[in-house]
Structure 1
Amino acid sequence: MVSQIKDFENKIRKYHSHPEAIVIDCKPIGYPFYVLTLDLTYLDSRDLELLEEYVMKCIANGLNKLEEIFGFLGMDNHIIEKVLSKLISNDLIIREHGFNLTQNGVDALQKQTVLAPISDTKTFYLDALNGKLIDKFHLSKFDTKKYQNSCIEKIIKRPRKDNIEDIIDHYQDIEKLLQPPGYNIIELIQVNKIEKVYPEWHEVLLVLYKSNANDTELEYEIFSRDSIQKDYRETIEKLYGEGKKILDPIFQDMKQDNTSNQSFTKIVSSINDEDIKNVEQISARISSLNDPDYFIDITNNSVKEEKQKLKAQLEQIKTQSRISEVIHTCDIREYLFKALKQANNRVMIVSPWIKSNVVNQEFLSILEETLKRKVQVNIIYGYKETPGSMKNDTWSINKLENLMYNYKNLNFQKTTNSHRKQVVCDDKFAIVTSFNFLSFRADPNLTYRDELGVILRDKQTIEDLFNSGISLVKV
């Protein structure tokens, strides 16, 4: 997931010329289509390209020399030579005392002149936002039952079964889509009926980003198959221009329950928002200078000198603030698993709440593997419960208590009232954040929350955080 986010970030930086853009998170959403199964009648008897047919007709009518054929057709002799060469290789003509049709050629030419109507059933997809018709694409189906609030509402009116007048404007598109690549040989006679029609949502990724670290506004881009989908974005922007704000319900859902980052500064008061912003901004600037595809306007210094200057500024801020790196929602849970998998001596996890969608079987399995390596693990949770507040899941708590019974190196305790969120991994790194490690999964399929965290690598700071966490549950 992290590598995919970084890939999205690089593509957004290049596509929008925002070399300091920062991807915050991404979320799968359902893009609507109508699936149409149509009963068609069309003419499909032309196996020969048009020029091949004309050349063979010339030969059938006695023009069997190269100069006679290109002279009659009024075309360059090199073009006719290529056509003749292809017809010979396909055993449609033979060169004996000039050019002559083989029996296969006679049959092919005869078939070319007899139009036989064909009845067939074909499936097409009607874009429910812009009304464009296509015959195939490679998007995955979206699970509408599981993620109802992540589906874009349909704009185009649904065609009705057995009402072919609803798609009469698409007849020309249907005929074009019936053509094989490089040919124009099929003639649509009629659409007999609409046999089936039903809506279907297909998955694209809504990627949220800031154009730079200082920007307070979130922007978005549409991805599928790891590529920016310009057409989908343009369709959505056009609808917004018409007052149809189709993404607003999804944005609203993504922003609800958004946890304030104010708790972040309460945990480590010496780390302030300005330092976080500066680390993000300078890191993004250095990253943009590393990209050879960008021309950076630096008037007095070379790119190398500018990078050195920025790195020096970054190191100064890191030294003063103890911030090693700033991470967002999509990265934070990855670091939790990184701590469990890489720790040699100790891990501490402090989080107010515990939910079973986070402390699930995957989490428990990784935790048990950590315990088997004799790593001391401290899990501390607990926040004062009030009416309407979040509740802990007993299933997860029971599972953790069972592990503590089986592994003496697991210390699982509840504190009376702490809103702190932190992770400590040996003396390698610590994370302080607004991210609820044990109750928020950071699943892009679920509600979006812009969580922020900082990684600290100063050994004394890590030790202070560890001791501070232990003090939460000291008797």
Structure 2
Amino acid sequence: MEIQEIHQKLEKQCASDYRINEIILFAYPFRRVRINATVNKSPEKSIQQIYSVLLKTILEGYTKEDDLIKFLGLHKEDFILRELYFLRERGFADLTSGNWIVTDQGKDFIKDNSILKILEEEEFEFLFDTVSNEIVLKEFRLNSQKDIENKLSSEFDFEHKSPEILNDKNEQLSDIYKRQNNGKAYLVDYDKSKILFDKKECNDYYLIEYIPRKGKENELEPFIEVRNFDKEITLEKRITKVLSKKYPAILYQFSNSERTALAEIEEDDYEVLDEFQTSVTPQTNISTTETLSVWETQAKFEEALKTVTNKILIESPWIKKATLNYIQSIENALGKGIAVIILYGIESNDEHHFGTIEKLRSLERKYSKSFHLIHLPTHFQNKNNYQMTGTHRKLVIKDDEYYIQGSFNFLSFNKKEGQKIANEESILINNKVIDKWKTVIKEYELDDKILDGKQKYGG
């Protein structure tokens, strides 16, 4: 079904005060797991009836084996003796001085056949939700397009067939097995050290974002739904609940669009510009400041990454897909031994594209000595600095040559010239750059050794 068709269908069901803002097809990660399980089952109804007849016949006075066999029209070679001893093992009958008797438990069984349970070994297959860390009933066939662009990242991952998958999962597994068997069988035990099958798989869903209509923004909150990839686009309640707890951050893993909250130019951005325009002391015949437009800022940032020779610092509240445009330049710089420092994150609005974060973390592992990816809310907590919760500042310092500061989001702006944008402006300053390095290092309590040797200020 096309996105437009889905929009039309769901728009009709939408509450009058809301409208659909975005529809995103995405793949949700699971692991399909199979284990050996010991289960407690009710026997088939036919065998239950046979047990009931045997016990009722004994109660009627046919207590000798020969009498029972003769009355029932059977032979000694038939299964009757085996079943009588089975009932004895289960406590429903007993043999005393050659006579069979029915126990109280056997009398209860005659009234209610379902009380008899039999332990069996069988294979039990289920799904492990790698986002919510839950065991899920395998009641649908997993189906995902291989080339789907938006794939949700797993938050809980383990080695293949690792017993850790089942840690603290006894209650969940028991509930799922009971549901799978409509309450007629129960999970008794399983060996988590011998997982039979374990495979990473995905299932496709639609993520629907609803936002208040114009005039209702201050009264109502936006929300999301997850819909199944079926003809009726039915609501997937469980995953809706899981992802709603992560909204709106979850949306930024998929969406390229600039959200309103992130695109607005806030007043403090202009205050920053005013502060730097008035605080820099011009030197004779030297231009120390330069005002840059949106596109000039973007171009200058790209140029800085490509021409940096020593060290570069990038401070930006949000890391989005836009950062992917600069990954290669960052790696090229790191390959030359250039120090790259990225400061990001703001506690009140800590929303990032986690796929991009992972790519940066991969670079950090590869170039551990020169690449420093610092999530500021976590950094401040580790420093026991509870006054600072992150950054809203947008700053780039290139070598000891210049720094750029203003309202431009260096790592989340993902527009191209010609598209509609909110106006942005930055200031390029080439005066007192070494002092700026020192201020940032001190302000954020960064390890002074973060820049070694020639990378030191003035190096």
Which category of TM-score, normalised to the shorter sequence, fits these structures?
0.3 to 0.5
TM-score by length of 1: 0.36
